[in-house]
Chains A and B, each alone.
Chain A
Amino acid sequence: MLQDQKYRSTLSGTLYSKLGIHVERCYQCGKCSAGCPAASAMDLKPSIILRMLQVENERYDREVLQSYTIWLCLSCHTCSTRCPMEIDIPRVMDVLRSESLRQNLIHPRAKDIVAFHVSFLNTIKRFGRLWEVGMIVEYKIRTRHFFQDVLLAPVLFLKGKLTVVPHKCVSIKQLFTWKKQESSL
């Protein structure tokens, strides 16, 4: 019983009990890391993440949640398409990200990525749709990357690709109110 309890409290326990993802299946072939487009920029390659989850100890679980990798995953599904053991790695990454957020263990270099996602979702929250100008302004404020892409904006505007006024759709307001109450998996 004690064993079970302990198992459930680890990340691989969570992955198994909530999503049926069995990280023990991974036999460390490295095929995922070999094909991952973002691997070169990752601090821990995908197969290493899987290995650390298999160990099931607090230290590695924490390192995984603090890794840069989980924020760099593009959800391109290259890895899972080729994984011989059919492990849904992008889905694992999804779970790790939300857990990292919850425990506030976000990798310092990933803060801007998180800021992007938050700005994105905030824009949808306000307008129901994405309004790129609004989102980028928020993102820049959040990250202080004021000068990134400044050269692109006027061209975009000239090409008619930036809208000055947001499109609106309000039907999903309630999604957000509910989301605040319980951010469950």
Chain B
Amino acid sequence: MKFGLYPGCSLEASSREYLESLRAIAPKLGLEFEEVKNWNCCGASSAHAIDHLFSVALPATILAQAEQQQLKDLVVPCAACYSRLAIAKIELTENAKVRNELQAKYHLSYTGTTNILTILDVLERVITPEVSKQLPKRFTKNVVCYYGCLLVRPQRITNVQRVEDPQQMEEIVKTIGAHPLPWGMKTECCGASFSITRTELVGKLCGRVLDDAVCRGAEAIIVACPMCHSNLDMRRSVIEHVTGKKYTIPVLFITQVIGFALGLTPAQLGMTRHFVSTESIVSTSV
């Protein structure tokens, strides 16, 4: 199955293990990616914090490029980028004023033919019951799936079912043998882009997430967003400082756990890049 791919900035830098693991599992799942050429940053939370039209212009440039490459389905692994692109797509298709303005200024000819998909949308399609039966390993752990905000909200953009208690990630991890636990922090915010400017706030919000995960008996937190990951993993010392507690629970990208079940090594999946050791979970899995 072939998809367009927009990696986004953080997948090339602070969360490169996400992209590495995605690229590692792709051939085994029959996935092929064509990257959007010469892509630019989507603007993340800074552009719309400052200027709305501009926050549409950045992703619109990406979408126009994707369309030029005739990428019908564009997967955007970063939840933040996904959200920006999806919002821009809706603005461009529904708001004629914005569309015309952008068209006039940069001759962006975006017609809205590209579907924008999250990583979950893609994995859901390829991890069929057949595939799951043939997996060399099983990831039989108690896990909690953490969606954060942007994979589910605003619902108008994401069209996700059960917005307060989504099940898409759970369904995927179940097929590789994991036991997803019900928990209360699934869609709470991790502090997102305040990682640098308000680390304390991030520490507090992530503390609640880790706390609930641990209380429920989870052995790992599964995520599908680089921001969630870096806040929960990289900012662990801040979290511990704010909450005054120690947490050893590892945070894994969904692509990494799937990679594990496909028999890839932790190094191939970039797990060595994590701040919080994944040793425990990898060594005790079968």
Contact = CB atoms under 8 A, between A and B. Distances in A.
A116 B197 contact: yes
A88 B273 CA distance: 38
Given A113-B197, A185-B52, 6 more contacts: A37-B191, A71-B49, A74-B189, A81-B154, A124-B41, A130-B13
Interface stretch (B23-31, B54-62, B122-130, B132-140): B54-62
Interface string A71-106: 110111110110000001000001101100100000
A121 B50 contact: yes
Interface residues of B, number: 53
A37 B205 contact: yes
A178 B105 contact: yes
A117 interface: yes
A112 B197 contact: yes
Contact of A77 (B13, B154, B193): B154
A108 interface: no
Contacts of B164: 81
A76 B202 CA distance: 13
Contact of A172 (B9, B58, B201, B272): B58
A169 B40 contact: yes
Given A97-B50, A159-B273, A116 B196 contact: yes
Query: Taking each of A120, A136, A152, which has the highest tally of chain B beta carbons within 10 Å of its own beta carbon?
Result: A120
Given A76-B149, A163-B12, A183-B51, A171 B46 contact: no
A40 B192 CA distance: 16
B179 interface: no
Contacts, number: 146
Interface string B204-228: 1100000000000000000000000
Interface residues of A, number: 56
A74 B193 contact: yes
A155 B275 contact: yes
A149 interface: yes
A174 interface: yes
B242 interface: no
A132 B13 contact: yes
Interface string A129-141: 1111000100100
Contacts of A95: 52
Nearest to A125: B41
Interface of A: 37-38, 40-41, 71-72, 74-78, 80-81, 88, 94-95, 97-98, 101, 112-113, 116-118, 120-121, 124, 128-132, 136, 139, 148-149, 152, 155-156, 159-163, 167, 169-172, 174-175, 178-179, 183-185
Contacts of A162: 13-14
B103 to A, nearest CB: 13
Contact of B44 (A101, A120, A161): A120
A108 B45 CA distance: 20
A163 B15 CA distance: 12
A178 B178 CA distance: 50
Contacts of A148: 196, 199
Contacts of B50: 97-98, 101, 117-118, 121
B165 interface: no
B13 A163 contact: yes
A84 B93 CA distance: 26
A179 to B, nearest CB: 6
Interface in B170-197: 188-189, 191-194, 196-197
A175 B51 contact: no
B54 A179 contact: yes
B153 A81 contact: yes
B48 interface: yes
Nearest to B47: A121
Contacts of B191: 37, 74
B10 interface: yes
B120 interface: no
Nearest to A149: B196
Nearest to B54: A179
